[in-house]
Chains A and B, each alone.
Chain A
Amino acid sequence: MTVTLRVRFVRWFHQLASPPYVYRLAGQLAPWFAVTAGLLLLTGTYGGLVLAPADYLQGDGFRIIYVHVPSAYLSMLAYIIMATSAVVGFIWRIKMAHGLAVSAAPLGASFTLLALVTGGIWGKPMWGTYWQWADARLMSELLLLFLFAGYMVLRASFDDREKADRVSAILAAVGVINIPIIHYSVEWWSTLHQGPTIAKLDQPSITMDMLSPLLVMILGFTIFFAWLLCKRLQGEILNREGHARWVEKLLEEITR
């Protein structure tokens, strides 16, 4: 029993390196992700904007947390997914892993930007400023955005796709090693600076009716990200395999 399971798992793992299989798998998963993400995001938005009580300190302003926290979390998840799959692709020479890394990069950059923008909008009424240089998490997010940008620019400057895959994988690996160093050094730096006074006030610990919509939103955003990733991966595969026979067959099926 265990042997057959293992054989099946190994076969499935090898299938993940095959473009037509991954294309079909992503196509099958995408609608499920889309529906689940839609339901979760609707529920979470209703819960966050209507059901959750207003914060006694921040009023209704705190409700931006339901967009801000999920996007900040996804920006980091996207970088980890990008770097991990790029390294897997580099070591075992799996093109599909590189494809996944390429698809994750612009999504991660978008979520990083979204986290920064919503953070600024939130910061203006709460801290009195859109941007706070002395905040460790803000600086880390900004540097993360630069790392995403560097990865995409480096890729774009190579004509040869395979070379771009392998060179950018090294950059992604260097970046993922550096992220904790950057994060902790920035944190150490900002604790030595004078912190913003309003943020020094004790944050009220979040209550259950505020927290549960947040958790729903985080899950919804993650599945939304998975849906986008599936769609982008499909596009990336078609881009790479444009002249393969199975793609031509697929085209015939669609146009028929």
Chain B
Amino acid sequence: MNAFVLILQRDLRLAFRRWSEIATPLMFFIIVASLFPLASSPEASQLRESGSAVLWMSALLSSLLALDGLFRTDAEDGSMEQLILSPAPFGLIVLAKILAHWAVSGVPLLLLAPFLAISFYLPLEALPTLIIALALATPTLSVLAAIGAALTVTLRGGGAIIGLLVLPLTGPVLIFGTRATEMAINGESALGPLYLLAALAVFAISVGPMAASAAIKVAME
């Protein structure tokens, strides 16, 4: 457990020193969402209808964009080998790295999402549901993207492949996330899809780090 906390602290400290890497996916998230009305139409009725889809797609793409360097920098400077050799369970270390990454990429996204939602004329009553849904969905997305990053950790230019490997697996998260948002917009109770999002998150967090750590070990051997 000590190793878990230490890795978490180390990764957070590193992330804040390289703040541009935190900012890039967030800027990407904002820019994609703001360009969308230019591409479709600035009319309120249409934006309200497509708003949740745009928010969710931008969140999905920006969470993928951020993950390429998650394991690669450690693998390249040799510290990943030390982490594999350390007595602490490697799956736990990987989980700490994913958690640290989620804290600097997922949490700011949660804070930004309400502002974008308001600009898309989403009703204020729907915002709590949107934030809860994003809070439950982004960990699953981070775990899935981490598996992709782990599989491609030794490949040069792995970033493009991660999308190909991971995007088909994000279907369920996207379905339940947009469904919860739409139900909240219509004033219905969105508990059903929220529970399903929570179930996916629990499943991903308990199984995903093992798959990711196995992939890193194989790729590094």
> What is the interface of chain A, defined by CB distance below 8 A to chain B?
139, 143, 146-147, 149-150, 153-154, 157-158, 163, 166-167, 170-171, 173-175, 177-178, 181-182, 185-186, 188-189, 192
Contacts and interface: CB of A to CB of B under 8 A. Distances in A.
B151 to A, nearest CB: 6
Instruction: Select the residue from A177, A186, A188, A192 with max chain B CB neighbours within 10 A.
Output: A188
Interface of B: 147, 151-152, 154-155, 158, 161, 164-165, 167-169, 171-172, 175-176, 179, 196, 200, 207, 211, 214-215, 218-219, 221
Contacts of A146: 164, 167-168
Contacts of A139: 171
A185 B176 CA distance: 8
Contacts of A188: 175
Give the interface SS of chain B, mostly helix, strand, loop or mixed. helix
17 contacts: A146-B167, A146-B168, A149-B164, A150-B164, A154-B151, A154-B165, A163-B154, A163-B218, A163-B219, A166-B218, A167-B151, A167-B218, A170-B147, A175-B169, A177-B207, A186-B171, A192-B179
Given A170-B211, A170-B214, A182 B169 contact: yes
Contact of A185 (B164, B165, B172, B214): B172
A174 B169 contact: yes
B169 to A, nearest CB: 5
B183 to A, nearest CB: 10
A175 B151 CA distance: 13
Contacts of B219: 163, 167
